[in-house]
Amino acid sequence: MHRDRYPSERSREGSIRVLLVEDDDDIAGRLIAGLVPAGFTVDRADNGADGYAMGADEAYDAAILDLGLPEMQGLDVLKRWRAEQRKVPVLILTARGTWSEKVDGLNAGADDYITKPFHVPEVAARLKALIRRSSGLASAMLTHRGIVFDTGANRVSLNGENVDLTARELKMLNYFMHRIGRVVSQSELTEHLYALEDSRESNTIEVYVSRLRRKFGSDLITTIRGLGYRME
């Protein structure tokens, strides 16, 4: 069993929470080394059984799934997730490059497919595109009430003026802007702001919501008592 988390807490970018299910340590290491500085928080499992369990138990923005895995094949992991109505976008990453295997993966519910060898920046770009599409967004540029969030360059402006945000403020804004009009619970925000090993104070979410309100307007985020928050 091997489960690790690699958070992007030092990054200035809005974090995207990704599950990586890959048994090859070298390949996993190269992906993690490239994705974490690009703003991704990566949880890794090195076998299919752990990968399935993590995908079933945790909320991820996307998953990178190898097909040739020990304990449970990647295709079986994917089929089980989809049978259980888990809608996380899945990028299959594998050395199996024949058209029939690609068709099998896509028919099982994969959203995209990339073969080894690969370039990490392409993997990162494909993941971001999958997440945008799953949120009903086609562009890398998120806009709302004068806010422009360039998710490709990870820059934020308000009415044309650049806005400096801390890493966690960026993460929270990114998360809200992919869910405009939806109620987001405190626990959901906590899962995406913090790595599992981080200490979490009870009022942390309120602090970051207050900071965003100060920078973008007090009415940007509404508190829904007993439920969480909503970006109006």
For the domain made up of 141-231, give the CATH fold.
Answer: Arc Repressor Mutant, subunit A (1.10.10)
Q: Distance between CA 193 and CA 219 in Å, rounded?
A: 22
pTM higher than 0.85: no
pLDDT grade for 7, boundaries at 50, 70 and 90: low
Contact of 90 with 114, CB cutoff 8 Å: no
> Which pLDDT score, from 0 to 100, does residue 13 have?
38
C-alpha torsion sign, points 35, 187, 132, 50: positive
Class of domain 3-134: alpha beta
When comparing pLDDT for 106 and 118, which is higher?
118
**78: closest CA among 45, 46, 111?**
111
For 125-177, how does the pLDDT look when each residue is reduced to its tens digit (9 = 90+)? 889 888 877 766 556 678 899 999 887 677 899 999 999 988 788 888 988 98
Percentage of the chain surpassing pLDDT 90? 44
Q: Distance between CA 111 and CA 123 in Å, rounded?
A: 13
List the chain domain ranges.
Answer: 3-134, 141-231
Residue 215 phi, psi (nearest 5): -85, -25
Q: Spell out the residues 6+ positions from residue 18 whose beta carbon is closer than 8 angstroms to its own.
A: 35, 40, 41, 42, 43, 60, 61, 62, 63, 64, 127
Q: Distance between CA 189 and CA 14 in Å, rounded?
A: 13
Amino acid identity for residue 5 in this structure? R
